[in-house]
Amino acid sequence: MNLKEFNSLVDLFFYKAAKENPDADFLEWLNPKNKKKYNWGETTASIQKLAKVLKDNLVEGDRCLLVSENRPEWLIADLAIMLADGITVPAYTTYTEKDYKYLIEDCEPTVIIVSNNEMHKKLKNIIKEKDFIKKVITFDELNNVEKQDKYLKFNSIISSELSKNEKIKNTIATNVYPEANICGGPSQVGSSKDICTIPRRSEKPIRRIRVVSLNTLMQVLTSAGTELRIACGKTI
For the domain covering 3-230, report its CATH number. 3.40.50.12780
The full set of domain ranges for the chain reads 3-230
Q: Is 61 left (phi over 0), alpha (psi -120 to 50) or beta?
A: left
Q: What is residue 207's predicted lDDT score, i.e. its pLDDT? A: 33
In this structure, the strands spanning 111-114 and 87-91 are unpaired
Whether the CB-CB separation of 20 and 228 falls below 8 Å is answered with: no
With a threshold of 0.95, does the pTM exceed it?
Answer: no
Measure CA of the first residue to CA of the last residue in the chain; give whole Å.
Answer: 24
Whether the CB-CB separation of 97 and 126 falls below 8 Å is answered with: yes
Distance CA 95, CA 110 (A): 20
R_g of the chain, CA atoms, integer Å: 17
Whether the CB-CB separation of 49 and 26 falls below 8 Å is answered with: no
**What is the longest distance spanned by two Cα atoms in the chain?**
50
Contacts with 124 (C-beta within 8 Å, 6 or more apart), sequence order: 145, 146
Q: What is residue 210's predicted lDDT score, i.e. its pLDDT? A: 34
What is the DSSP track for 115-184?
-SHHHHHTTHHHHHH-TT--EEEESS--SS-SSGGGEEEHHHHHHS---GGGS---HHHHHHSGGG----
Q: What is residue 61's predicted lDDT score, i.e. its pLDDT? A: 94
Whether the CB-CB separation of 117 and 142 falls below 8 Å is answered with: yes
The per-residue pLDDT string of the chain (236 residues; one tens digit each, 9 = 90 and over) reads 677 778 888 999 999 999 999 999 999 998 888 888 999 999 999 999 999 999 999 999 999 999 999 999 999 999 999 999 999 999 999 999 999 999 999 999 999 999 999 999 999 999 999 999 999 999 999 987 877 889 999 999 999 988 776 777 653 333 333 333 333 333 333 322 332 333 333 333 333 333 344 455 555 554 433 334 433 333 33
Q: What is residue 112's predicted lDDT score, i.e. its pLDDT? A: 98
Q: Strand, coil or helix: what is 228?
A: strand
Contacts with 46 (C-beta within 8 Å, 6 or more apart), sequence order: 38, 76, 80, 158
Task: Identify the helix (H) or strand (E) that includes residue 99.
Answer: helix 97-107
* DSSP code of residue 4: G
* Amino acid of residue 5: E
